[in-house]
C-alpha cells in the first residue's frame, strides 16, 4: 500500500464519475468517453451529470492524477493512483464481489478429495485462483516459522571439500559445500553425520548454536565446521526463498487484452518474473510490512517487469507453526473486489486446513 497517498476525499459527484469510469474500463479494456459516462450516470443518479458537467469533472480528475487520456481524441482510463483511490475509497462502499455459494461448494469439494495431502493443497489453491480470476496465481508452500533440523548427510567431494545436505522437519531440503579442516573419507563423514544427528535432532538455529558452545570441547574441528554451517543454513530460511513456490494461470494471464498487442519484451519480462523464481523476493519487503490481504498496484511494485501489473497477496498459515504466501498477478485493469474476495477466501480455507493438520484451535 502507498504510505504517501493524499488523504483528501473527492466530492460525491467526482467519486461517482471515477467509480463509473474504473468499472467501465475494467469491463471493456477501452478508454471511456465522457458522453458514455454522462448517459450511464444520468440513468442511475438522474440530474447533475450533464455532458458538460462530466467533462469538467473529468478534467479535474485528470489534474488530480487519477485518470489520463491516452490520445487527444480518446476517452480516459484510470492511473495507478485512480485505481488506488477506487480500491481504498470506492470499492468498499459497494462491498467485495463475494464467491457464490456454488463456487464455494465446488472449491470445498475439490479440497475434500485431496484430504491431508499438503502438496496437493498448494497446487490446487494455485489452480483454483487462476481459474477464478483468469490471471496468474502464485503460492509458496507453508514453511515452519523456525527451521528444525530433521537430519543431514555429508558427502565426500574431493580433497577437503564435502557436500552438506540438510533436511528440515517440514520437508525442506537445503545443501551447501563445505571446506573441512583436512581431507576426510566418506566413512568418517558418515560417522560425523550419525553422531551429530543423534545429538542435535530437532534443534533450531539458536538452540544449535547454544548447545554447540556448551559442548565445544567435545567437538572435533570438522564437527565444529559442520555445526556452524547447519546453524547458518537454519537461520537463513524464510518463506520467500525463490525456489519454493508454485504458479498457475500464466497462459490465462497472457490471453488478457493488455497482452494482445504488447511489446514482446514486456511479455518476456512478466513471464521471467513468474517462471524464473523472482516473484517472491520481488515483493518480500512489501508483504512482510503489512497484514491481511494487500493490494500492490502498478508502479508500487518494486520489480520493474510488474510496474504495470497489480498483485493481490496474503500470508496464510498457523501462527508459530507454519506460514506461506498466496496471491494473484494480473493487469491493473483487474476486478479488484472479486480478486480480494478470492484471495481472502483461499487464505481462510488454508488457515482452517492447516489448523486441523496441526491440531490448533483458532
Structure confidence by residue, pLDDT tens digits, 32-64: 999 999 999 988 887 788 999 999 999 999 999
pLDDT at 243: 60
pLDDT at residue 238, as a whole number: 60
| pLDDT on residue 234 | 85
Full pLDDT tens readout for the chain, 362 residues: 444 444 578 999 999 999 999 999 999 999 999 999 999 998 888 778 899 999 999 999 999 999 999 888 789 999 999 999 999 999 864 445 678 889 999 999 999 888 778 888 999 999 999 999 999 999 988 877 677 899 999 999 988 899 999 998 877 788 899 999 889 999 999 999 999 999 999 898 888 989 888 988 889 999 999 999 998 888 766 666 656 678 899 988 988 888 877 778 888 888 888 877 677 767 766 776 667 899 999 999 888 888 889 999 998 988 767 788 899 999 999 999 999 999 999 999 999 998 888 777 65
Residue extents of the structural domains in the chain: 12-94, 101-144+240-358, 149-235
Q: What is the DSSP letter of 89?
A: I
CATH number, span 149-235:
3.30.390
Kindly state the cell numbers that stand for 322: 507454519
CA atoms within 13 A on the CB side of 70: 11
- HSE-CB of 357 using CA atoms within 13 angstroms: 17
88 DSSP 8-state letter: I
Give the per-residue pLDDT at 344: 94
Contact in structure between 67 and 78 (CB atoms under 8 Å) = yes
Which one, of 326, 330, 359, lies nearest residue 345 by Cα?
A: 326
Class of domain 101-144+240-358: alpha beta
What residues does 328 pair with on adjacent strands? 137, 312
CA triplet 272, 283, 304: central angle to 5 degrees?
50
Domain topology for 12-94:
Arc Repressor Mutant, subunit A (1.10.10)
- Could you read off the pLDDT of 129-169 as tens digits, one per residue? 999 999 999 998 887 767 789 999 999 998 889 999 999 88
d(CA 155, CA 163): 5
- The whole-number pLDDT of residue 67 equals 96
Amino acid at each position: 500500500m502507498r504510505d504517501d497517498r493524499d488523504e483528501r476525499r473527492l466530492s460525491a459527484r467526482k467519486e461517482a464519475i471515477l467509480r463509473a469510469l474504473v468499472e467501465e474500463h475494467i469491463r471493456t479494456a477501452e478508454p471511456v468517453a465522457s458522453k458514455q459516462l454522462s448517459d450511464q450516470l444520468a440513468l442511475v443518479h438522474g440530474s447533475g451529470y450533464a455532458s458538460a458537467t462530466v467533462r469538467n469533472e473529468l478534467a479535474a480528475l485528470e489534474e488530480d492524477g487519477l485518470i489520463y487520456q491516452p490520445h487527444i481524441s480518446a476517452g480516459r482510463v484510470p492511473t495507478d493512483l485512480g485505481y488506488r483511490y477506487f480500491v481504498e475509497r470506492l470499492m468498499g462502499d459497494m462491498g467485495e464481489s463475494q464467491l457464490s455459494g456454488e463456487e464455494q461448494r465446488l472449491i470445498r469439494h475439490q479440497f475434500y478429495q485431496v484430504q491431508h495431502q499438503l502438496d496437493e493443497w498448494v497446487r490446487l489453491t494455485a489452480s483454483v485462483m487462476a481459474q477464478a480470476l483468469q490471471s496468474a496465481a502464485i503460492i509458496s508452500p507453508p514453511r515452519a516459522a523456525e527451521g528444525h533440523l530433521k537430519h543431514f548427510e555429508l558427502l565426500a567431494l574431493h580433497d577437503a571439500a564435502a557436500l552438506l545436505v540438510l533436511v528440515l522437519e517440514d520437508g525442506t531440503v537445503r545443501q551447501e559445500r563445505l571446506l573441512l579442516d583436512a581431507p576426510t573419507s566418506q566413512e568418517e563423514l558418515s560417522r560425523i553425520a550419525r553422531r551429530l544427528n543423534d545429538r542435535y535432532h530437532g534443534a533450531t538455529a539458536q538452540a544449535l548454536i547454544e548447545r554447540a558452545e556448551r559442548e565445544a570441547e567435545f567437538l572435533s574441528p570438522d564437527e565444529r565446521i559442520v555445526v556452524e554451517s547447519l546453524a547458518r543454513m537454519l537461520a537463513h530460511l524464510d518463506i520467500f526463498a525463490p525456489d519454493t513456490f508454485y504458479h498457475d494461470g500464466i497462459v490465462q494471464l497472457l490471453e488478457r487484452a493488455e497482452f494482445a498487442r504488447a511489446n514482446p519484451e514486456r511479455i518476456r519480462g512478466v513471464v521471467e518474473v513468474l517462471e524464473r523464481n523472482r516473484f517472491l523476493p520481488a515483493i518480500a519487503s512489501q508483504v512482510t510490512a503489512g497484514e491481511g490481504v494487500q493490494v500492490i498496484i502498478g508502479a508500487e511494485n518494486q520489480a520493474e517487469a510488474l510496474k504495470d501489473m497489480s498483485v493481490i497477496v496474503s500470508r496464510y498459515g498457523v501462527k508459530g507453526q507454519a506460514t506461506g504466501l498466496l496471491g494473484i498477478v494480473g493487469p491493473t485493469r483487474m476486478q479488484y473486489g472479486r480478486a480480494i474476495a478470492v484471495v481472502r477466501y483461499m487464505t481462510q480455507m488454508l488457515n482452517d486446513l492447516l489448523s486441523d493438520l496441526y491440531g490448533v484451535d483458532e
